[in-house]
């Protein structure tokens, strides 16, 4: 059995700082990155299996959501046959990659983090063009991607070190964490860099190999990351890049008997479908597939009668409309205690009027477009539905789809707790305001959906906050601050109920989802 393992020294984890765009030098640097990216728009990108570039007969275009006539990148769609090939090759590569020492695997992540840090604005600029992020939102996404690599690299050193076991006489005992096998990594488009990087690198650093199927709305940024992994020398076939349609090719990845686990982040419907598909044992399959599924949210902020209403209005606004409300953690319901409703609404509307919306390449725009035409139509459908059910549109409610997918920030007052827009995830800039008689009722309403991702309470009353700790059933609960903006290492992230498997990305338990523990015992006398 292996002797005592060497400990590898690294500096403690620190979050990547956000860029201060009030500084002219930083703005200039970002503008330069936007120009660089603009000059590269519209190129063709191949599939990558085992380092080989592959083309197919089908292409799809990734479009700029702020200007649908602008093509960001053209991608070859993988088919089921290629999905099967990618899993087979990833399986072969796994047999070697799993033997690479943990410390060496971690080094790839540290190198990739460093390189991404050097090209930070360029990565962010791709997201401004491809998914319509504002500068600040894109910068936060890239910072989080860097954080994931720095954090998971260090975490692997911890899991790769000697593990503490109770001592017994005449036996030498050891526990090691070993990888699972081939993982299908299936990220969403809304944190197209951070979540994709987080799931991919967690799988890789733990010794697994990956078939990465990016979202069809954000394949370019994923390709740029795979290129970066190649640059830092990650062996071929450890990460394979396979864009293509979810149904068909995506299903083939999930079904393949050699797929050992699926790391998915996306909607509830797709997550449940993947969970069901993965549960069906295929011929020749040797294991129960592990599914990590992080899904949707219907997140609430409670505004208590004892709240600082200015701070509450600011927090609700930022949580509801940052990145156009397209965050799983976004506040889509403000539950306001009746006695302060009027005052709170006037503060909220006063702030909403100041929101700027337009092309996100322009630094002064706080909000950009929503991801695609289908999403825009679905948001408008929900706004109509809200009206039919008695909601009152007190702000926004319209869209502008001349060249891009722009939905105005929308506030719907007088929403009832069981109305459609109070229950279903809209995933856009639509905030439902619900009145509650008192704090008791506010807590009941907060828990009345099938989701349980994030939530917040604004109150100066300590007892009420303590009560929320017991009763408000969400994976990430915040007090007197917005319910978005979880930081790696600081706020491990993941939700309850139909919000998913509560993986707590960016936390100390996360890598365990990609590992299995082997205990070994040797008689010594
Ligand atoms: P989505 O479910 O439509 O797609 C997610 C991914 O699944 C995409 O890559 C898509 O191509 C793929 N996919 C679709 N059908 C598939 C199939 N049959 N087999 C395999 N893969 C398939 O979600 P989206 O629109 O990309 O993202 C938005 C959703 O993600 C929202 O519901 C949001 O709340 C959720 N989300 C959750 C978290 C979280 O941590 N809980 C974080 C971000 C986003």
Q: How many CB atoms lie within 10 A of CB 12?
A: 6
Are residues 299 and 474 in contact, defined by beta-carbon separation less than 8 angstroms? yes
For the chain, domains (ranges, CATH) are 34-295+502-523 (3.40.605.10), 299-487 (3.40.309.10)
Token pair, residue 168, equals 């017994």
pLDDT greater than 90 at residue 45: yes
Looking from the CA of residue 503, the nearest atom of ligand 1 is 40
Q: What confidence tens digit (pLDDT) does each residue in 474-484 have? A: 999 999 999 99
CA–CA separation, 4 and 123 (whole Å) = 41
Q: For ligand 1, is residue 216 a contact (CB within 6 Å)?
A: yes
Phi (first) and psi of residue 297, to 5 degrees = -150, 160
CA–CA separation, 312 and 441 (whole Å) = 18
Residue bearing the CA closest to ligand 1, atom 18: 247
Testing ligand 1's pocket by substitution, the residue of 130, 190, 266, 294 carrying the most ligand atoms inside 8 A of its CB is 266
- Of the chain, the percentage scoring pLDDT greater than 90 comes to 97
Q: What confidence tens digit (pLDDT) does each residue in 161-192 have? A: 999 999 999 999 999 999 999 999 999 999 99
Annotated catalytic sites, by residue?
Answer: 294, 328
Testing ligand 1's pocket by substitution, the residue of 75, 188, 220 carrying the most ligand atoms inside 8 A of its CB is 188
Q: For ligand 1, is residue 328 a contact (CB within 6 Å)?
A: yes
Distance 308 CA to ligand 1 centre (A): 36
Looking from the CA of residue 215, the nearest atom of ligand 1 is 9
- Of the chain, the percentage scoring pLDDT greater than 70 comes to 99
Distance 265 CA to ligand 1 centre (A): 5
DSSP letter at 361 equals T
Q: What confidence tens digit (pLDDT) does each residue in 205-232 have? A: 999 999 999 999 999 999 999 999 999 9
Query: Left if phi > 0, otherwise alpha if psi is -120 to 50, otherwise beta: which for 362?
Result: beta
Are residues 187 and 215 in contact, defined by beta-carbon separation less than 8 angstroms? yes
Q: pLDDT band for position 8 (50/70/90)?
A: confident
CA–CA separation, 55 and 146 (whole Å) = 30
Distance 255 CA to ligand 1 centre (A): 17
Cα 189 to the chain's mean position, in Å? 8
Distance 152 CA to ligand 1 centre (A): 22
The strand ranges marked E within 168-326 are 171-179, 182-186, 209-212, 239-241, 259-265, 290-294, 299-303
Token pair, residue 10, equals 């690294």
Distance 312 CA to ligand 1 centre (A): 30
The SS3 of residue 49 is strand
Q: For ligand 1, is residue 510 a contact (CB within 6 Å)?
A: no
Q: For ligand 1, is residue 358 a contact (CB within 6 Å)?
A: no
pLDDT greater than 70 at residue 4: no
Q: What confidence tens digit (pLDDT) does each residue in 138-147 have? A: 999 999 999 9
Predicted local confidence at residue 3, as pLDDT: 56
Looking from the CA of residue 297, the nearest atom of ligand 1 is 34
Token pair, residue 500, equals 């998913």
Predicted local confidence at residue 144, as pLDDT: 98
Distance 270 CA to ligand 1 centre (A): 6
Token pair, residue 305, equals 């009668």
Predicted local confidence at residue 204, as pLDDT: 98
Q: What is the mean pLDDT of residues 40-63?
A: 98
Q: For ligand 1, is residue 241 a contact (CB within 6 Å)?
A: no
DSSP letter at 174 equals E
Q: Give me Rg for the CA atoms of the chain.
A: 24
Query: Global pTM?
Result: 0.98
CA–CA separation, 425 and 420 (whole Å) = 9
Looking from the CA of residue 499, the nearest atom of ligand 1 is 41
Predicted local confidence at residue 7, as pLDDT: 74
Residue bearing the CA closest to ligand 1, atom 42: 328
Phi (first) and psi of residue 281, to 5 degrees = -75, 130
User: Nearest-CA neighbor of 511 among 182, 152, 94?
Assistant: 152
Q: For ligand 1, is residue 251 a contact (CB within 6 Å)?
A: yes
Q: How many CB atoms lie within 10 A of CB 470?
A: 8
Q: For ligand 1, is residue 329 a contact (CB within 6 Å)?
A: no
Residue bearing the CA closest to ligand 1, atom 32: 267
Residue bearing the CA closest to ligand 1, atom 28: 266
Q: For ligand 1, is residue 372 a contact (CB within 6 Å)?
A: no
Predicted local confidence at residue 525, as pLDDT: 80
Distances (CA, A) of 519 to 39, 95, 177, 286, 327: 54, 20, 9, 20, 40
Token pair, residue 337, equals 């205690």
Looking from the CA of residue 266, the nearest atom of ligand 1 is 30
Q: For ligand 1, is residue 503 a contact (CB within 6 Å)?
A: no
Are residues 15 and 146 in contact, defined by beta-carbon separation less than 8 angstroms? no
Q: For ligand 1, is residue 272 a contact (CB within 6 Å)?
A: no
DSSP letter at 215 equals -
User: Nearest-CA neighbor of 326 among 376, 395, 365, 264?
Assistant: 376
Letter string b/e over residues 31-58, b meaning 16 or more CB atoms within 10 A of that residue's CB: eebbeebeeebeeebebbbbeeebeeee
Testing ligand 1's pocket by substitution, the residue of 78, 270, 495, 502 carrying the most ligand atoms inside 8 A of its CB is 270
Q: For ligand 1, is residue 303 a contact (CB within 6 Å)?
A: no
User: Nearest-CA neighbor of 113 among 11, 43, 188?
Assistant: 11
Q: pLDDT band for position 1 (50/70/90)?
A: very low
Q: For ligand 1, is residue 507 a contact (CB within 6 Å)?
A: no
Distance 143 CA to ligand 1 centre (A): 21
Q: What is the mean pLDDT of residues 421-432?
A: 98
Predicted local confidence at residue 2, as pLDDT: 47
Residue bearing the CA closest to ligand 1, atom 19: 250
The SS3 of residue 364 is coil
Q: What confidence tens digit (pLDDT) does each residue in 353-369 have? A: 999 999 999 999 999 99
SS (H, E, C) 311-324: HHHHHHHHHHHHHH
User: Nearest-CA neighbor of 298 among 185, 404, 153, 454?
Assistant: 454
Q: How many CB atoms lie within 10 A of CB 418?
A: 12
Q: What confidence tens digit (pLDDT) does each residue in 289-345 have? A: 999 999 999 999 999 999 999 999 999 999 999 999 999 999 999 999 999 999 999
Distance 195 CA to ligand 1 centre (A): 11
Looking from the CA of residue 213, the nearest atom of ligand 1 is 9
User: Nearest-CA neighbor of 246 among 84, 371, 370, 77?
Assistant: 77
Distance 246 CA to ligand 1 centre (A): 9
pLDDT greater than 60 at residue 267: yes
CA–CA separation, 450 and 442 (whole Å) = 16
């Amino acid at each position: 059995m292996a002797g005592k393992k060497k400990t590898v020294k690294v500096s403690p984890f620190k979050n990547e700082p956000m860029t201060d765009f009030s500084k002219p030098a930083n703005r200039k640097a970002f503008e330069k990155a936007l120009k660089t990216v603009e000059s590269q728009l519209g190129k063709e990108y191949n599939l990558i299996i085992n380092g080989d570039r592959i083309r197919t007969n089908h292409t799809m275009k990734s479009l700029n959501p702020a200007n649908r006539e602008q093509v960001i990148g053209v991608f070859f769609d993988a088919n089921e046959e290629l999905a099967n090939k990618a899993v087979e090759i990833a399986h072969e590569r796994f047999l070697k990659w799993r033997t690479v020492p943990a410390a060496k695997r971690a080094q790839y992540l540290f190198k990739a983090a460093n390189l991404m840090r050097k090209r930070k604005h360029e990565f962010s600029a791709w997201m401004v063009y491809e998914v319509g992020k504002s500068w600040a939102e894109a910068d936060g996404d890239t910072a989080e991607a860097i954080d994931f690599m720095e954090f998971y690299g260090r975490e692997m050193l911890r899991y790769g070190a000697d593990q503490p076991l109770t001592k017994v006489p005449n036996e030498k005992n050891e526990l090691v964490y070993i990888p699972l096998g081939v993982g299908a990594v299936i990220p969403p488009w809304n944190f197209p860099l951070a979540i994709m990087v987080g799931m991919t690198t967690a799988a890789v650093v733990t010794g697994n190999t990956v078939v990465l199927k990016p979202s069809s709305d954000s394949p370019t940024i994923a390709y740029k990351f795979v290129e970066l992994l190649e640059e830092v020398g990650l062996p071929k076939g450890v990460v394979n890049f396979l864009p293509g349609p979810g149904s068909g090719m995506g299903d083939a990845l999930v079904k393949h008997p050699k797929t050992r686990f699926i790391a998915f982040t996306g909607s509830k419907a797709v997550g449940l479908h993947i969970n069901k598909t993965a549960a069906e044992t295929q011929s020749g399959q040797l294991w129960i597939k592990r599914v990590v599924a992080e899904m949707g949210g219907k997140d609430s902020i409670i505004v208590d009668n004892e709240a600082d209403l200015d701070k509450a209005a600011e927090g609700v606004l930022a949580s509801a409309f940052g990145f156009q409300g397209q965050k799983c953690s976004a506040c889509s319901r403000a539950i306001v205690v009746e006695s302060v409703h009027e005052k709170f609404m006037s503060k909220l509307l006063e702030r909403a009027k100041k929101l700027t919306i337009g092309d996100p390449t322009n630094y002064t725009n706080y909000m950009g477009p929503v991801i695609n035409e289908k999403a825009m139509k679905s948001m408008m459908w929900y706004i109509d539905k809200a009206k039919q059910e008695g909601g009152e549109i007190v702000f926004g409610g319209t869209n502008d789809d001349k060249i891009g997918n722009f939905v105005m920030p929308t506030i719907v007052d007088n929403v009832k707790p069981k109305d459609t827009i109070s229950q279903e995830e809209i995933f856009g800039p639509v905030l439902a305001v619900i009145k509650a008689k008192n704090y008791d009722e506010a807590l009941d309403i907060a828990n009345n959906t099938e989701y349980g991702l994030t939530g917040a309470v604004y109150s100066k009353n300590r007892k009420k906050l303590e009560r929320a700790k017991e009763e408000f059933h969400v994976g990430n609960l915040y007090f007197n601050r917005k319910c978005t903006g979880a930081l790696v290492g600081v706020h491990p992230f993941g939700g309850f109920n139909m919000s998913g498997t509560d993986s707590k990305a960016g936390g100390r338990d996360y890598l365990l989802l990609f590992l299995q523990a082997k205990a070994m015992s040797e008689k010594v006398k």
